[in-house]
Amino acid sequence: QALPYIRCVGDSWPMTRERAYFEASALREHGRLCPDHVPEVYHFDRAMSLIGMRYIKPPHIILRKGLIAGVEYPLLAEHMADYMAKTLFFTSLLYNSTTEHKKQVARYCENVEMCRLTEQVVFSDPYMVSKYNRWNSPLLDKDAEAVREDDGLKLEIAELKSMFIERAQALIHGDLHTGSIMVTPDSTQVIDPEFAFYAPMGYDIGAFLGNLILAYFAQDGHADQANDRKAYKQWILKTIEESWNLFQQKFLGLWNKHKDGNGEAYLPAIYNNPELLSVVQKKYMTGLLHDSLGFGSAKMIRRIVGIAHVEDFDSIEDASKRASCERRALDCGKAILKGRRQFESIEQVIALVQSVTHD
């Protein structure tokens, strides 16, 4: 049931209960497109903001907790690539007519309060003095200040904020971090899409990949005598790489399969030879990678110097060890955000992540 305030802040920050309507709608829509990875909605009561849905039973746990514990999920990349490819492709103009698309965009535009929350906490607060910001103080005081004084970063974030607000590319989950995914070694279930609306696809892809990068940088804080976490860090990097590469493969597979369908972005009468279509697809996927890296790195930055942090770091008890992990993640996020257009493959991104060393 949706509460009339933000759960992690309390009743001092009121929040519309109408978000439950959009959560139920997105669960149903995404569930229709990808039933293997979205729990069924059995009942929705709009007046009570109440959703009755499938209980995702044990041993499923929140992915973030599994990543903190160092558990490998061999099918995670495959499952998430499948979920993202299907939910994003089938709600885009690559598959739908503009008439259908605009109708859905108009419907989800009503979820404006949740969009405004994202605009504030992801694209605005971290770059200014705000009472909601918090960080590992005093150890990261200088780092937080550096974010607020970085003109290059501010130019990039302005562009991403505009894109997030203006570009109705597909029906996104809107909060696809590792706390919105429940897993076992052979099952992956995506929950909690209360921020859903039509927005850039890269926001979802970036949220997932960016949170995996945060998990990677947190590992050193969870290492101990029994387990140095080195092998696990490599597994996380492999999962990031596979998630993007499998997503790209599946997404292009759907595009090719439906290229003569109702989609109105690239009319078959115009894009009527395989060479041209191939160039169009390469350009589209490169743009999507850059968008994903931009949004993903913005999400990384806000989790370190903004209002809502991640348990990956917060559960590291030693404050200086925690600061060291957070600083590397922050430096990595800033580097990706500013340099995202130079990457041509996910492997190049992984190389950058690995190059960010101890301070």
Between vectors from CA 325 to CA 321 and to CA 331, what angle results, nearest 5°? 140
Mean pLDDT of the chain: 98
pLDDT at position 94, please? 98
CB 13 within 8 Å of CB 6: yes
Instruction: Please give the C-alpha separations between residue 53 and each of 2, 10, 28, 173, 191, in angstroms, as whole numbers.
Output: 14, 25, 10, 17, 10
* DSSP reduced 3-state for 6: strand
What's the token pair of residue 208? Answer: 């997932």
Local confidence band at 8 (pLDDT 50, 70, 90 cut-offs) = confident
317: pLDDT strictly greater than 70: yes
Give the residue with greater pLDDT, 9 vs 81. Answer: 81
Tell me if 195 sits within 8 A of 111, measured CB to CB: yes
Which letter, b or e, does each residue of 325-341 get, where b requires 16 or more Cβ atoms within 10 Å of its Cβ? bbbbbbbbbbebbbebe
pLDDT value, residue 7: 87
Query: For 155, how many CA atoms within 13 A lie in the half-sphere containing its CB?
Result: 5
For the segment 115-151, what is each residue's pLDDT rounded down to a tens digit? 999 999 999 999 999 999 999 999 999 999 999 999 9
Task: For Cα atoms 94, 90, 239, give the angle at the middle one, nearest 5 degrees.
Answer: 105
Please give the average per-residue pLDDT across 330-336, as a whole number.
98
How would you class 64 by CB atoms within 10 Å of its CB: exposed for 0-12, middle for 13-18, buried for 19 or more? buried
Q: What is the pLDDT of residue 58?
A: 98
Architecture of the 58-355 domain: Alpha-Beta Complex (3.90)
Considering only CA atoms, which of 285, 217, 210 is closest in space to residue 252? 285
Q: Is the pLDDT of residue 359 over 80?
A: no
What residues form DSSP beta bridges with 62? 182
Kindly report whether the global pTM for this prediction surpasses the value 0.75: yes
Q: Does position 170 have pLDDT exceeding 80, yes or no?
A: yes
Query: Is there a contact between 117 and 224 (Cβ–Cβ < 8 Å)?
Result: no
Residue 246 has pLDDT above 90, yes or no: yes
User: What is the Cα–Cα distance from 23 to 120, expressed in whole angstroms?
Assistant: 20
- CB count within 10 Å of CB 254 equals 17
Buried/exposed code over 166-187 (b: 16+ C-beta within 10 A; e: otherwise) = eebbbbbbbbbbbbbbbbbeee
Q: 241 exposed, middle or buried (CB, 10 Å; 0-12, 13-18, 19+)?
A: middle
The more confident residue out of 285 and 10 is 285
Ordered by start, the domain boundaries in the chain are 58-355
Instruction: Give me the mean pLDDT over the 13-32 stretch.
Output: 97
Determine what percent of the chain is predicted with pLDDT higher than 70: 99
Residues 275-281 have a mean pLDDT of: 98
Q: Which pLDDT does position 358 carry in this prediction?
A: 66
Residue 340, C-beta contacts closer than 8 angstroms, at least 6 positions apart:
290, 293, 294, 297
Residue type present at position 294: G
pLDDT of residue 123: 98
**What is the per-residue pLDDT for 266?**
98
Separation between Cα atoms, residue 9 and residue 14, nearest integer Å: 9
Q: Give residue-wise pLDDT tens across range 207-245.
A: 999 999 999 999 999 999 999 999 999 999 999 999 999
pLDDT computed for residue 45 by the predictor: 98
The pLDDT assigned to 357 comes to: 81
